[in-house]
Amino acid sequence: MRITRIEAWPVSMRLSEPYTQTFHTYEAAHNVFLKLVTDRRIVGYGCAAPAELVTGETPESVLEAIQTIVEPSIKGMDPLRSTLIMEKLRAEVFDKPAVLGAVDMALFDILGKRSRLPLWRLLGGFRSHIDTSITVGILPEEETVEQTRAWVDGGFRRIKLKGGHDVGLDAARVMQVREAVGSEVSLCFDANQGYTAEQTSWFAEQTIPARLQFIEQPTPQGDLELLGQIKRDIAIPVMADESLITLGDANRLAQGRMVDMMNVKITKVGGLSTGRQMISVAKSANIQVMIGSMDESALGVSAGLQLALACPNVAFADLDGHIGLEDDPAAEAILLKDGALYPSDKFGLGFNPPE
């Protein structure tokens, strides 16, 4: 089998309800779809969801890298030799995880289709579905409570609140939501790098009655030692997100016991292959893993879902990046029922549009 053609194109999908986090208000998801065509008529698809504030990538830079580096590097290669292909590309685009992630997804998609199995079964098939959290952006208290109640009424049992602008307002919102939804709904909080260590400690103290499952990336991504200090100082479990991009990051976080949890996002860490390695590193250090998502098509989210279903030590899923996207070409790759995600029964990643 050989890769005979490589195609990439931008896909923009508006959000039915824009949301705000610490540094930005998101109104649409801007992705890049990748298509690897083989001489056996098997086609693999991948999706890049570049995040300029996290990895420095844009849709334009992703498209350029695919056209100028990926295509001449891997055209003619055997897609079933995915390790060889990915090692070659990592040497050439090591600083572009969204590019690597899209190629890796497409290679795994080909493997699943060649094996005639959904990817989650091919990777181990530990579970058939998983609950996902749903994100509520930064809103005034009343609107936060209203939106949270709507999601809970829709079947979701884990809510992730965004914050990071104002620690006092954030703590008040958390407490109001807990009072509104009762004790049966799990609450998590994501500060998106918006706090200092002192603010994080104050927030943790103020929200003890809310029983948060974790606080995600409270401080700037580059200071891993600060995360470790916070983990030692507060009672809420601490999760790394933006601080976890490379396998080296995972090793440093694990060896230093700097966090309680890691958020592994396929497009952020450079693909399923690296994601699986990070999960193993976390397991060796008794660190819990959440599989997360960017604002991305169900094609990209499907890759995270397949991995979450395959791995026993994935404790949480935050795979809501596709929910609310309008005109998503891959919407049918994932099924959502009562707050739980199920893969489609199609082979690979579950996306096989008509040619």
Q: Does residue 20 have a pLDDT over 90?
A: no
Tokens 């008040």 correspond to 172
Give me the mean pLDDT over the 160-178 stretch. 97
Query: Would you state the pLDDT for residue 246?
Result: 95
Angle (nearest 5°) at CA 14 between 220 and 348: 85
DSSP 8-state assignment for residue 187? E
pLDDT classification of 22: cutoffs 50, 70, 90: confident
SS3 of residue 188 by DSSP: strand
pLDDT classification of 138: cutoffs 50, 70, 90: very high
Instruction: Give the rounded percent of residues in the chain with a pLDDT score beyond 70.
Output: 99
Q: Does residue 23 have a pLDDT over 80?
A: no
Q: What is the mean pLDDT of the chain?
A: 96
- Outline where the chain has alpha helix (H): 52-55, 59-65, 71-74, 82-92, 97-115, 119-122, 141-153, 167-181, 197-206, 224-233, 247-255, 266-269, 272-284, 298-310
pLDDT classification of 53: cutoffs 50, 70, 90: confident
Q: Does residue 25 have a pLDDT over 90?
A: no
The model carries a pTM of 0.95
Q: Does residue 21 have a pLDDT over 90?
A: no
- What is the rounded distance in angstroms from the CA atom of residue 271 to the CA atom of residue 112? 15
- What is the rounded distance in angstroms from the CA atom of residue 172 to the CA atom of residue 6? 50
Query: Would you state the pLDDT for residue 24?
Result: 73
Query: What is the C-alpha R_g of the chain?
Result: 20
SS3 of residue 290 by DSSP: strand
Query: Would you state the pLDDT for residue 54?
Result: 87
Query: Would you state the pLDDT for residue 354?
Result: 77
pLDDT tens per residue, range 67-79: 999 999 999 999 9
The CA distances from residue 350 to 141, 322, 333, in Å, are: 39, 15, 5
- At 17, which amino acid appears? E
pLDDT tens per residue, range 193-246: 999 999 999 999 999 999 999 999 999 999 999 999 999 999 999 999 999 999
Query: Would you state the pLDDT for residue 27?
Result: 87
Query: Would you state the pLDDT for residue 40?
Result: 94
Domains of the chain are 3-116 (3.30.390.10), 121-343 (3.20.20.120)
Query: Would you state the pLDDT for residue 197?
Result: 96
Query: Would you state the pLDDT for residue 18?
Result: 81
- What is the rounded distance in angstroms from the CA atom of residue 279 to the CA atom of residue 283? 6
